[in-house]
Amino acid sequence: MKKRKNFLAILLSLLPVFAILAVFRVYPIVTSLLKSFTNWDGLYRSDWVGLQNYVNFVRSGQFWMVLRNTLILLINVPLQVFIGLVVALLLYEKVKGWQFYRAMVYTPQIISAVIIGFLFKIFFGFNGPFNLVLKAVGLGSLAIEWFGNSYTALGVIVFSVVWFSIGWQAIVILGGMSAIPSSVFEAAIIDGANYWQRAFKIVVPMLVRVIEFAVIASGVWTLTQLFPFLFAMTRGGPGYETSTLDYMIYLKSFGLGFGRDYGTATAIAVLLLVLVLALTLIEMQVANRADDWS
Amino acid sequence: MARRVKLKGILISALLAVLTLTFLYPMYFMLINSLKTRSEYFVNQFNLPSGQLQLSNYATMISQFRILNLFKNSFIVSSLTVVGLLIVGTFASFVFAKYRFRGRTAIYLAVIATMFIPSQVTIIPLYVLFSRIGLVSTYWSVVLSYLALFLPEAILLMTANFRGIIDELLEAAEIDGCNYFQKVWNVVLPMGRAAIFLSIIFYFIMAWNDLFTPMIFLQSMEKRTVMVALAALMGRYTGAPTLQFAGLLLSAVPALVVYILFQRHIIRGLSVGAIK
């Protein structure tokens, strides 16, 4: 009797989750997968075209453009992890007012990425504050149109993303640090280790797990969450010059002036899905998260 | 030795203070320039506004852009999302944390594995689905997408927390004659309040700040959230930067207020669980 009652409670508790995920995640993913082999326009046209969407996407050169952009944008990952680690080390010393600094460092994460994107667009505009400062200190020749070519535009985007993410990195790494027993430090002080020796020979090696998680999480984040930054700063353009996979899906489906190519858009969605799932699996396997989580 | 320690403290404080300034400066910049006239802004962007403070930018945001109405839309979407997440997430997490049944680990991992799949992957079929059943331009289209998007992570967070609830408490509640719902109400909610509270704040801010999903689904002007309207404002009024600053700043304020009030909970939650 009790078993049956339990079974009912378990079933009814999990059913809403299954229903929501089935309808709003699994169904769209399966649909994307199937439609990626058609010339779907969202309405009636939906003829089987085989691998054509994928082949065209790679052949058109857009794929290589996106690959280049993504690789450049991924530079933000080591930068934000390293700076975050340094900030965490600084906070770990618990100087006076460290809790205030810790709260401040995290503020960009609370502000919408849309707002941050537009702010950086204004700051790096041709007549924006950054160029004005450059001119004021006699570096006027460096005051260029930052969003005028894809490389400097991507550079500004990387900079904004790093600025945005330092707080997250610092807090997560600091959380990992608090798990290190203080006896380790006492022993190090007795051994006469100085600050930097302590930081990089003792603390950092004990943080491998956390840093690994931080790297993979921000890698996945870079592949999937840059939409507001790109939308605010470059709209993925000129052309596709600053687009990533996720932004390309938007341009090909809902972007004005790019046509309504749902077939290709779903094909790109499938590529992105495979990439993200692969990284998630690596994260679960490598870090043995499967054991931690269940 | 003591002097060296002191010097190190000063150095670290100075570095942290500089870092803090880089995070505060953009807000200061938005604030001072939103209080200037357009011509004053182009003459000098770095000075404090001279003479009278221009509150007209804020007045325009309220009267013409009806930002309060946009706040209302964002608030409805974010609140419905959080309420749905809590109702569905609490029961599921309790079951994952405290009940043993066949296939638990597999089901749990399957749910969690969908966590990183971005909304761009599902947006097109969802859009077609919502337009067929007439949900485009309703709050529900966005709320349901958010539920599906945030549930796995919320379940991960809450399950980890609920595992720490002492079994004896649940058994005692059962002996006292509590049924399943009463157990959740009387034991799980109070004992798991840290995770529940964190989820409320965290996903409210996430929903408030998001642009992509509402931009696609909420096409009616009346239903737009504040970030969608802000994106439109920034694209259209490039000639009125001071107005844009007022809009940017105002849109950031609600989430910042929530953060200032609950900063300790958010940081503590982030340090123990891993949310991104």
Mutate to test the interface with A, among B120, B237, B262, B271 (most CBs of A within 10 A): B120
Contact B143, B80 (CB under 8 A): yes
Distance CA A95, CA B5 (A): 11
- The reply to whether A252 falls in a domain is no
B-chain CB neighbours of A223 within 8 Å are 118
The whole-model pTM stands at: 0.90
Same domain, A6 and A150: no
pLDDT for res B16: 92
Confidence band for B276, pLDDT divided at 50, 70 and 90: very low
Q: What is the ipTM of this complex?
A: 0.90
Place of tokens 């009814």: A12
Distance CA B268, CA A172 (A): 10
Distance CA B174, CA B37 (A): 67
The residue ranking higher by pLDDT, A90 or A195, is A90
* pLDDT tens digits along A15-56: 999 999 999 999 999 999 999 999 888 777 888 888 888 998
- The reply to whether A285 falls in a domain is no
Last residue of a domain, one of A58, A88, A106: A58
Mean pLDDT along residues B128-132: 92
- The reply to whether A272 falls in a domain is no
Same domain, A100 and A212: yes
Give contacts of A 265-294 with B, CB under 8 A: 265-266, 269-270, 272-273, 276-277, 279-280, 284, 290, 293-294
Same domain, A22 and A123: no
* pLDDT tens digits along A189-221: 777 777 777 777 778 888 888 888 888 889 989
Same domain, A17 and A156: no
Give contacts of A 33-72 with B, CB under 8 A: 35, 42
Same domain, A172 and A41: no
Same domain, A83 and A215: yes
- The reply to whether A267 falls in a domain is no
Contact B243, B237 (CB under 8 A): yes
Task: Please report how the helices B139-162 and A2-21 are oriented relative to each other, as an axis angle in degrees rounded to 10.
Answer: 140
Asked whether the beta carbons of residue B244 and residue A227 sit closer than 8 angstroms, the reply is: no
Cα→Cα distances B208→A2, A230, B120, B252, Å: 43, 19, 18, 10
Same domain, A45 and A106: no
Same domain, A34 and A98: no
Same domain, A52 and A78: no
Contact B203, B85 (CB under 8 A): yes
Place of tokens 């409320």: B200
Among A195-199, A202-206, B124-128, B135-139, name the one with the lowest average pLDDT: A195-199
* pLDDT tens digits along B204-240: 999 999 999 999 999 888 899 999 999 988 888 877 8
Residue A104, domain CATH = 1.10.3720.10
Place of tokens 């680690």: A85
The closest alpha carbon to B212, from A151, A35, A174, A244, belongs to: A244
- The reply to whether A258 falls in a domain is no
pLDDT for res B7: 82
- The reply to whether A167 falls in a domain is yes
Same domain, A80 and A10: no
Cα→Cα distances A219→B70, B159, B166, Å: 33, 25, 37
- The reply to whether A290 falls in a domain is no
Range of the domain at A10: 2-58
Same domain, A119 and A202: yes
A-chain CB neighbours of B230 within 8 Å are 114-115, 118
- The reply to whether A183 falls in a domain is yes
Query: CB neighbours (10 Å) of residue A202?
Result: 17
The count of domains in chain A is 2
Contact A114, A232 (CB under 8 A): yes
Q: DSSP label at B71?
A: H
Q: What is the mean pLDDT of chain B?
A: 89
Same domain, A85 and A115: yes
